[in-house]
Chain A
Amino acid sequence: MASSNGVSPLMPRSPSNINANMSPSRAKSLAMRKSISKPQTAPTVQPQKPPPDFDMAEQVNEEISNKYVKGKKLGEGTYAIVYKGHVRSDPHRIVAIKKFKVDPSQQREGLNVDTIREIKYLQEISHPSIVALLDVFSSKDQNINMVIEYFPNGNLEELIRDKTVSYGAADVKAWMGMLCRAIYYCHSNFILHRDIKPNNLLIAADGEVKLADFGLARSFGDPRYQMTSAVITLWYRPPELLFGARQYGGAVDIWSIGMVFAELLIRRPYAAADVANQEVLATGGGTVAQLDKICEAVGTPSEENWPGVSKLRDYFELEKKIPVRDKPFYMQMFPTAGSVGVDLLMAMLKLDPRKRVTAQGALEHEWWTVDPRPTEKEHLPKQGGGASKMAAAEAAAPGAVTDENKFKGVAKKLDFGASRK
């Protein structure tokens, strides 16, 4: 049993019991809420006086749709137009409304699978470091609207590139902590993200970095089914996928996290094939170029450092023969990470996915307990502010005498169960 007061799935369930004695209006108000801690029953719509023009399903949808007020357009992506909006009953609660461009006549196979999976997985996920899906509703013109948290501060990619923003090791540690907790949560729920990159790490109003874009996500754990290797943006794609592996696990996301870690430290992508040449990309040349970069940055995959690699579907002998990069190499490349930070980075960038650190292993790493302490999220640098940050970060960096005890509690604070409060 998870805890003494935990309800076993084997026990009669509480929400059902609650609903049995609930007044219709109470049930209805509960049905409107979407909070994990308060499970509720589905559409218990009041039987009295239903407007005859709506089916039950439509009534439920209407109620959700009426909760929000749509405002100005924020931006436009491949599949969606994003609007700013707010909660009708509380105009201070700002949200983003992502309206999918659904034109049935344009979609050969119905709603595209990326959208379907994004909705599918986000509905099951609730974690402070993962973008929250607040509601989904349909509008009359047959469009699907996802109500998500509003992110006024852009994403990590923009922040990394913005040279007017300074940040230090403590900030990197804070962001990495959020990212590692997010992916630990996904993996313990048997979900692979498969598209981790700075561009998909959004910065919330309170400074929290949140993992977004679950369009490529999928569940894993059933070895009977093959998965596609054509996932994860090239620069963050692990060698096993570049070699065409069809069976893989959480290690693919960990590699991406390692690449994000490295990028945060040096403020440019660590292993980035030249993707300017679209032709090369289209013919699969991107894979070769990216593997070439990995050889330089991490080392050349071989049977010695990765038993079984040559059996992978698309394996080929790499031209460059570079021994796996050793710690002094990393220390020189990533001085700000410190010795323990470099250990973690190296553990995330192991060529052999079986040797790569797991999400849990990453969270248990010593790095979190050594100096410097991760920045509190409300003090994290943002775009358009905090120029004095660098000075502060440097003052606290190497050489500063630290009180060992001061950091003892840190590991505990990085609780894996941050999922639920």
Chain B
Amino acid sequence: MIEDDVYRASSQYRYWSYTKESLARIRQNTNDLASERVRAAFHRAHTAHPAHSSNSHNAVSAGDADADAMEIDVDVDVETLTVDEELKIVEWGCSKIMEMGEAMNPRIPSHIVATAIQYLRRFYLTNSPMTYHPKQIMTCALYLATKADHFYISLAKFVAELANLSEDDVKAPEFLLLQGLRFTLDVRHPMKGLAGGHIEMNVMADEGRLGDISKATGSAKRIGTAADHAKRLLATAAQMTDAYFLYTPSQIWLAAMMVADRELVQIYLHNKLSELSSNEATTSLQQKLMSTISACASLLESYRSPKDDASQRKEIKRIGKKLTVCQNPEKMDIVAVARAKAAEKRGGKDSDVGKALKKRKLERDMMDKDGDVFGPDLRNVPGSGED
């Protein structure tokens, strides 16, 4: 209807659009692979045979070296996360991004927070929380979003706004994050479409093109109420579900409107489509549209914030604990790895690498002392949280 060609050229459409099935499949693949690697890492740690490292190198080129790594035995019994558990922990990260955005001074605009949340969701399609904990990636995602979306805030200031966080913590995962994002940084949000749709609906109502919904029946108030409700959904449910992966921005905003006022969306679409042309094709198109938008609306409606749900909070705690056990021990410290790589690059002196790792170990120990399972809590800022 509105943005067809333009949207089809977007990276969001080309790389980040899925069906439910393909989305489930890619998450399963990622989970399988990460679980296997966690087990392999534990195995290596347990047996502590340094010679093993040569195996993993061969594995890249020689096919049957895989067998070696695959047959990681059951004697190292780590319980890895399920896809569902991974998703929950990613969603926890998304909610933290939302809190950070609100707590920041100046407050980070909601569309940039939404970009950061989508970065995190996209990243975890091909990366597992067992490999990289969301707490390590989420601050980087938020900072990257401010850079990509032209909301300048210095790293020093950004870090100062958050408790227990160093500049390195924020920027070290950037490269990893960019790779996971396949170097696509543009996110198409439904908010702009909603704003336009709101205006258009008002115009149509004023001109008598929305049937019973007209000036006389208080159309402006009705449309305005629905748009407000939809706006809240776009900032919450649309961010915390798979909506962006499964639907286009127009479908999402129309679905959010539909949750608020089903009849309004029905009349709007009916009139809009029949104005464009009128034949059977239009009718069948309208039916298809309504069913797609309805499906998206159900998805948005199904979302419950853990804030209002004690059992969900308990569940996240449990997964968090489980994750501390099955976190890949070889990947845990992104900052140390980045520093070591930088040291290597500068001249590759082993002592540098060793120093970087040691220094980092000290920092971590200090951080762990006051951090809980989920890492540092955000500084409590008055007035944050609700809006």
Using CB atoms and an 8 Å cutoff, list the residues of chain A in contact with chain B: 1-2, 4, 6-13, 15-17, 19-20, 34, 36, 39-45, 47, 49-58, 60-61, 102-105, 107-111, 113, 116-117, 119-121, 123-126, 136-138, 141-142, 144, 188-189, 218-219, 225, 227, 419-420
Contacts and interface: CB of A to CB of B under 8 A. Distances in A.
Contact of A57 (B37, B127, B154): B127
B26 A119 contact: no
Contact of B56 (A36, A53, A103, A189): A53
B251 A50 contact: no
A142 B175 CA distance: 7
B70 interface: yes
A361 B252 CA distance: 34
Nearest to B140: A110
Contacts of B60: 51, 53-54
A107 B345 CA distance: 14
Given A52-B70, A56-B29, A124 B175 contact: no
Contact of B4 (A9, A108, A419): A9
Interface string B2-27: 11111111110111111101100110
A15 B249 CA distance: 16
Contacts of A11: 285, 288-289, 292
A144 B183 contact: yes
B: contact size bracket: 35 or more
A137 B182 CA distance: 8
Contacts of A61: 179
Contact of A8 (B1, B59, B246): B1
Contacts, number: 218
A119 B251 CA distance: 27
Contacts of B285: 8, 11
5 contacts: A4-B281, A51-B60, A52-B37, A57-B180, A142-B341
B127 A56 contact: yes
Contacts of B341: 104, 141-142
B147 A110 contact: yes
B179 A58 contact: yes
B17 A55 contact: no
B185 A19 contact: no
B148 A141 contact: no
Interface of B: 1-11, 13-19, 21-22, 25-26, 28-30, 32-34, 36-37, 40, 56-57, 59-60, 63, 66, 69-70, 123, 125-128, 131, 143-144, 147-148, 150, 152, 154-155, 167, 170-172, 174-176, 178-180, 182-186, 246, 248-251, 254, 276-277, 281, 285, 288-289, 292-293, 338-339, 341-342, 345-346
B2 A9 contact: yes
B248 A10 contact: yes
Contact of B126 (A8, A41, A60, A142): A60
A111 B131 CA distance: 23
Interface centre among A9, A61, A102, A218 (most CB of B within 10 A): A9
B255 to A, nearest CB: 10
Nearest to A137: B183
Nearest to A224: B109
Given A39-B14, A42-B15, A141-B345, A55 B4 contact: no
Contacts of A43: 26, 125-126, 182
A106 B339 CA distance: 11
Interface centre among A12, A49, A188 (most CB of B within 10 A): A12
Nearest to B184: A123
Contact of B1 (A9, A120, A121, A227): A9
A135 to B, nearest CB: 9
Given A43-B125, A60-B126, A420-B5, A123 B179 contact: no
A16 B17 contact: yes
Given A16-B18, A44-B26, A116 B147 contact: yes
Contacts of B40: 52
A9 B2 CA distance: 8
A6 B34 contact: no
Given A20-B19, A117-B148, A189-B6, A52 B249 contact: no
B178 A7 contact: no
Contacts of B178: 111, 138, 144
Nearest 8 pairs of A and B residues by beta carbon: A136-B183, A9-B248, A110-B171, A56-B126, A57-B126, A120-B185, A16-B19, A109-B155
